[in-house]
């Protein structure tokens, strides 16, 4: 077992499951998992998924190619199982025919914690204002809410938004786990109303591994960031009318004019902007020509 070739990673008891993806730049090597107490688990090549237990930890692994393997580790329910501490993954030459040979390898580790939009305390979130009506947090793979303060390591949450005009906005960056309990303030003053996508990014680092005396023997491991996209409907600024983002002309046959009404609600006024583009989502089957529109979407403004 080549000590300097080991990829060490640290798990703590607040992370109940991790998935490890390992790559090597040579064939014929055996990825070997090393537990905190030094027990070795070789994961020999098999054409199908395999599962086993090492030091009470369930390990399910699958070879993705001749040089890569993916495995999932599950925290044991029994306190007698070994989970928290420093683990390692190393690719071993089973023949040892060339002691001087070296290979390169890398691993990616992801946990079972995800960012989430937990809810909002208003019926509508308006563009053009600063709001604290959104509650963000952390959930596990079963969608159960996790108290950020229960995490033994560090965690941060970042928020960005792509608005209806396709413009990206950074709304919050590196919100610590201690600040996640309160609603997060989002500045939407320059955000276009309409259908938007809220992107949440959670970054988690496990707690440091320590020995019996409490001294740190290995720093915590940065898990792969988890990304979640949440659709969000942003209402127009307060005092503006509401305008639908699309117009359905229905199913028709033949040529002619097929009118449809657009419902405008709220205060203010709207008008047609000739410079605004129109996207047609459907055209008649086997048609050599595209339908033409005599109007374009109106733009809301305060009267």
Lowest mean pLDDT among 49-63, 73-87, 168-182, 210-224: 73-87
Write down the pLDDT at residue 267.
79
Question: Do 67 and 129 share a domain, yes or no?
Answer: no
231 and 117 share a domain?
A: yes
Alpha-carbon distance 38 to 31, whole Å? 15
CA distances from 178 to 85, 137, 146, 175 (A): 24, 11, 13, 8
Residues 128 and 221 in one domain: yes
Q: In this structure, what CATH number is given to the domain that contains residue 220?
A: 2.60.40
Same domain, 161 and 210: yes
Q: How many distinct structural domains can be found in the chain?
A: 3
Identify which has the larger pLDDT, 110 or 25. Answer: 110
Q: 3 exposed, middle or buried (CB, 10 Å; 0-12, 13-18, 19+)?
A: exposed
**Whole-number pLDDT of residue 287:** 53
What is the domain range of residue 227?
Answer: 113-235
Confidence category of residue 54, pLDDT binned at 50, 70, 90? very high
pLDDT tens by residue, 252-282:
777 777 788 888 887 778 877 777 666 676 6
The reply to whether 278 and 218 lie within a common domain is: no
Looking at 80, 111, 142, the residue that finishes a domain is: 111
On whether both 252 and 280 belong to a single domain, the answer is yes
Same domain, 198 and 131: yes
pLDDT attached to residue 262: 83
pLDDT of residue 58: 94
Mean of pLDDT values over 131-155:
94
**Is the pLDDT assigned to residue 124 strictly greater than 90?**
no
Most confident of 77-86, 179-188, 278-287: 179-188
Mean pLDDT of 165-183: 93
């Amino acid at each position: 077992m080549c000590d300097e070739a080991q990829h060490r990673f640290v798990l703590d008891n607040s992370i109940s499951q991790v998935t490890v993806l390992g790559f090597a730049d040579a064939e014929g090597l055996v990825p070997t998992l090393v537990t905190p107490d030094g027990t070795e688990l070789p994961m020999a090549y098999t054409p199908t998924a395999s599962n086993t237990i090492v030091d009470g930890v369930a390990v399910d692994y699958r070879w993705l190619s001749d040089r890569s393997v993916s495995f999932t580790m599950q925290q044991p329910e029994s306190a007698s199982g070994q989970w928290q501490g420093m683990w390692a993954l190393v690719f071993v030459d089973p023949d040892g025919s060339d002691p001087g040979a070296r290979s390169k390898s890398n691993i990616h580790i992801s946990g079972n914690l995800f960012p989430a939009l937990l809810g909002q305390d208003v019926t509508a979130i308006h563009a053009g204002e600063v709001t604290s009506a959104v509650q963000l947090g952390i959930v596990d793979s079963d969608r159960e809410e996790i108290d950020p303060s229960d995490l033994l390591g560090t965690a941060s949450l970042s928020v960005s938004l792509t608005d209806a005009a396709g413009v990206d906005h950074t709304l919050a960056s590196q919100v610590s786990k201690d600040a996640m309990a309160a609603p997060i303030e989002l500045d939407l003053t320059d955000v276009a109303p309409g259908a938007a996508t809220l992107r949440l990014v959670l970054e988690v680092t496990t707690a440091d591994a320590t020995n019996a005396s409490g001294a740190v023997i290995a720093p915590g491991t940065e898990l792969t960031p988890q990304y979640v996209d949440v659709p969000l409907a942003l209402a127009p600024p307060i005092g503006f009318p509401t305008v639908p983002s699309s117009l359905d002309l229905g199913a028709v046959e033949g040529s002619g004019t097929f009118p449809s009404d657009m419902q405008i609600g709220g205060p203010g006024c709207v008008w047609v902007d000739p410079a605004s583009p129109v996207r047609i989502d459907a055209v008649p089957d086997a048609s050599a020509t595209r339908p033409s529109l005599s109007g374009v979407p109106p733009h809301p403004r305060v009267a």
